[in-house]
């Protein structure tokens, strides 16, 4: 790619980022006494602009690099806040977002390659436990600034794609014949999803540790 073409692409990316900045200022303006519908619509448009910008910047990098740089998605996982941990043979995966609605799964795809990379590296460096029969615990953590009505029904959330990735690295199968599933909702400083996989006999102690009296359980 010649310098003029590179400059054109760079200026295009700058315009995308300027558009995002404008939308963030619009959200700030709407905040005092904001109409909920109008505010949510503006927030959605801002997020979509950010999705476009991320996709375009990745494409730009891969174009000038002649492909995907080594360990790119592993570094992306670190930047995104994906965390993998194994303590007392319990695998914990922290994702920096709430799971999407079943009808809106596209917005979560940007995390999938990064999650694959993070799990692959952990498995190679520290060994992941392998589970035949297990309990999968999903914690839906909402930002405490959100109203209680922001909490969604569990049966409206898309979990399959994420669980399929995790199962690939540590489970015989995520079928209901082998795996129990538990879900809980709580509020914290920021929204995220934490998925823990453990032997079934460890679930009771895990539940006591999580202090479920302050959570909404399923």
Tens-place pLDDT, residues 49-73: 887 888 888 888 888 888 878 889 8
Q: Domain 72-217 sits in which CATH superfamily?
A: Holliday junction resolvase RusA (3.30.1330.70)
| pLDDT for residue 127 | 84
Give the E-state strand segments of the chain in sequence order.
Answer: 83-87, 90-95, 134-143, 179-188, 192-198, 216-217
- Regarding pTM above 0.85, the answer is no
pLDDT band at 1 (very low <50, low <70, confident <90, very high): low
* 34 secondary structure, DSSP code: -
Query: Using CB atoms within 10 A of its CB, is residue 161 exposed (0-12), middle (13-18) or buried (19+)?
Result: middle
The count of residues in the chain is 218
**Annotated domain spans of the chain:** 3-65, 72-217
């Amino acid at each position: 790619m010649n310098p003029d073409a590179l400059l054109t692409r760079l200026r295009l990316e700058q315009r995308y980022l300027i558009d995002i900045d404008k939308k963030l200022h619009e959200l700030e303006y709407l905040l005092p006494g904001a109409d909920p519908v109008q505010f949510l619509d503006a927030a959605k448009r801002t997020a979509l602009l950010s999705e476009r910008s991320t996709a375009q910047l990745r494409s730009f990098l891969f174009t000038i690099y002649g492909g995907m740089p080594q360990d790119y998605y592993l570094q992306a996982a670190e930047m995104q806040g994906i965390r993998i941990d194994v303590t007392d043979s319990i695998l914990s995966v922290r994702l920096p977002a709430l799971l999407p609605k079943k009808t809106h799964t596209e917005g979560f795809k940007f995390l999938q390659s990064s999650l694959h990379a993070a799990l692959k590296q952990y498995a190679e460096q520290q060994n992941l436990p392998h589970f035949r029969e297990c309990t999968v615990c999903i914690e839906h953590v909402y930002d405490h600034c959100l109203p209680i009505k922001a909490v969604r029904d569990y049966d409206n959330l898309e979990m399959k794609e994420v669980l399929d990735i995790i199962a690939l690295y540590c489970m015989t199968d995520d079928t209901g014949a082998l795996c129990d599933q538990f879900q809980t909702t709580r509020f914290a400083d920021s929204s995220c999803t934490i998925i823990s996989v453990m032997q079934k006999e460890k679930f009771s102690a895990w539940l006591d540790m999580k202090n479920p009296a302050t959570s909404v359980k399923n």
